[in-house]
Structure 1
């Protein structure tokens, strides 16, 4: 195997000679992608997404930030093979991938993290095959973002939504911003950095809400944690870098659909809303209810539209590749949808234009 740093070739033992095709493809894409990332100032991006069908995985590269400045990490997620593929053969090929990635990319083997996408029982969610946490930091548009490369299937930042978050940041100046199904709050970071008048971040998971709090603090944004309307539980003031701006940034732990209903009763209004729900959820915290974005999107978007101030707009994104909005029912409820998906697909995801759907939502 050619040494990316020059010098003598590096021997790599593989199970299948066809792995050379995978290595060649990864080397070619990495060369182009790294030049693009340096030119565009992108610090974390996709390198490979099952480009060679026999090697079915996604490979993302993360440049370190903060305490990890100068480090490089690779995150390799194996796709569950179809039933037509022998499991042992699929396992052998994935072993070859993990042997080749550090050599081709010139990354220390201990900086390569692997996950397996396994279909969970009884639902549409994926679960990972487990792993130890490895918490570090990367950046997006100069914002420091905490990532966990080892403990979760998703690292804490959805790379395919990079352009969408940048758009939100540009739209946020002077606005009252609401982030629903907020995950680790990276969209909130963009809104706060973009000059939002105030931000509200809502998620059911305490784990992710705490993660969002650390992201805000790492970037010097003060925030408050609110567990009930008009009640402030805790106030945290930025980081050692000092407090940025005077905006109020609220973190709320709540079931999003129930919170929307309560916010409507309180007559809350927002100028800009970002809503990126999961495809499916049967979280225990939801009780007996389940969430399905295809089944439930009309109710969700009607509720979101009622929280918009005059002239306000919501950005709705989802990752269900077969998603079809019920435009007729939404129109009947006074909701207008504008498909902007083509504008939100990053260069590093252009091989798969179905990676997500994205819409602007307005109230008629």
Structure 2
């Protein structure tokens, strides 16, 4: 199945720059060790010989190029400010033009809405099928880009797709004013399984610039490689080095704001439950909305530690805010047999999970959502509400089964899609869950 694989933040940009430098010496005899034929594109030449080798654990080749005094000039894109960027695919000038246009429009919108972390580009051109998100630092200056590649359609040459991605990595930071070392790239690879916790078994992330030690901001630890960003008047920790996801899902910006408003309107015990909580961003919003007691549940200990730091950094500490490491599905079943109930619940489920720490073999949102939603509904106080969301594009709720169990769904998807995700309105589905 397709999965996202993390690439060292400056890796593609660095490789693209190396190939650009290679292009500058086109015409001289040279030999290159390459993983694919990108060097051919940079030199605009065919190798006189190719020797297949293994570099590390990956297939590669040694490619020899004869001297060509009449070698053509390398392809390049001229940006609006006059800067020239060497590229591997001449058609990448179309991507540069499009990115410059949407970046201007998105920046204007972001200033008007007081948004500092947002999606800039979302596969506007089919051949350049990537999503580009910009993050701006809050307490310290900084700008970071996260580039995520979509799955290429069948029939697309993988080598050509990679060259386009390398051009994106070279062009985007220059257009958006970001240091190439502060660009992280997520590429699609084929992988077995699908656990949402697979990233915790990765090799340790590279040591970030500035050293290995953690520091403390406002008395709260900030791990090495992490940065602080603002959203909705709150501060959150992001990290582009350590995980597949940086710590905050931007497509749920409106959902989080809705949770805060719903909690403000809640009467009574004002208890909030966050299931599959990840880094607890929704819990922070609920606490800011006046939640008197919050429960944050996730199977991942690193995620819960992250959530605890997010809460503390915004001033929410103490026994009223609990963090539970548990298999959510089993935990919900257990809580149904207790007297614990909540006024507002947020449940943002993974599409699929098969972690070895789960009590059941796997979780599939389309197959298992009705059972989970029914269980969640039983944890609500009388008149309580839950928000259920998932990012399976083809998701269809089993409304008949839910209705038989006395559960009603209100589709609020359109109301929770932010402006910067308007090109991809199936980025997630969201529903308000109530007991009939």
- So what's the TM-score if we normalise by structure 2? 0.74
Cα offset, 1:120, TM superposition? 2.5
Tell me which residue corresponds to 1:234: none
Are 1:357 and 2:429 an aligned pair? yes
Tell me which residue corresponds to 2:392: 320
Cα offset, 1:125, TM superposition? 6.7
Answer with 1 or 2: which has the greater Rg. Answer: 2
Give the root-mean-square deviation of aligned CA atoms: 1.9
Cα offset, 1:15, TM superposition? 0.6
Instruction: Find the partner of 1:212 among 296, 307, 321.
Output: 307
Instruction: Find the partner of 1:194 among 279, 284, 289.
Output: 289
Tell me which residue corresponds to 2:372: 300
Aligned partners of 1:83, 1:359: CA distance in 2, in Å? 33
- Partner SS, residue 284 of structure 1: coil
Cα offset, 1:198, TM superposition? 1.1
Cα offset, 1:145, TM superposition? 0.7
CA contact (8 A) 1:172 1:272 kept: yes
Query: Which residues of 2 match residues 8-47 of structure 1 at below 5 A?
Result: 9-47=82-120
Tell me which residue corresponds to 1:235: none
Aligned partners of 2:117, 2:419: CA distance in 1, in Å? 12
Aligned partners of 1:109, 1:317: CA distance in 2, in Å? 34
CA contact (8 A) 1:282 1:290 kept: yes
CA contact (8 A) 2:196 2:355 kept: no
Pair 81,207 (structure 1): closer, same or farther in 2 beyond 3 Å = same
CA contact (8 A) 1:271 1:313 kept: yes
- Partner SS, residue 85 of structure 2: coil
Query: Which residues of 2 match residues 134-153 of structure 1 at below 5 A?
Result: 134-153=225-244
Runs of 5+ unmatched residues, structure 1: 225-247
CA contact (8 A) 2:146 2:183 kept: yes
Tell me which residue corresponds to 2:255: 164
Query: Which residues of 2 match residues 272-291 of structure 1 at below 5 A?
Result: 272-287=344-359, 289-291=361-363
Instruction: Find the partner of 1:61 among 123, 126, 134.
Output: 134
Aligned partners of 1:126, 1:118: CA distance in 2, in Å? 17
Cα offset, 1:114, TM superposition? 1.4
Aligned partners of 2:234, 2:332: CA distance in 1, in Å? 29
CA contact (8 A) 1:117 1:127 kept: no
Runs of 5+ unmatched residues, structure 2: 1-76, 209-224
Cα offset, 1:287, TM superposition? 4.7
Cα offset, 1:2, TM superposition? 5.6
Query: Which residues of 2 match residues 58-207 of structure 1 at below 5 A?
Result: 58-66=131-139, 68=140, 70-123=141-194, 132=206, 134-173=225-264, 175-207=270-302
- So what's the TM-score if we normalise by structure 1? 0.88
Are 1:251 and 2:323 an aligned pair? yes
Aligned partners of 2:415, 2:360: CA distance in 1, in Å? 37
Q: How many residues align?
A: 336
Tell me which residue corresponds to 1:344: 416
- Partner SS, residue 357 of structure 2: helix
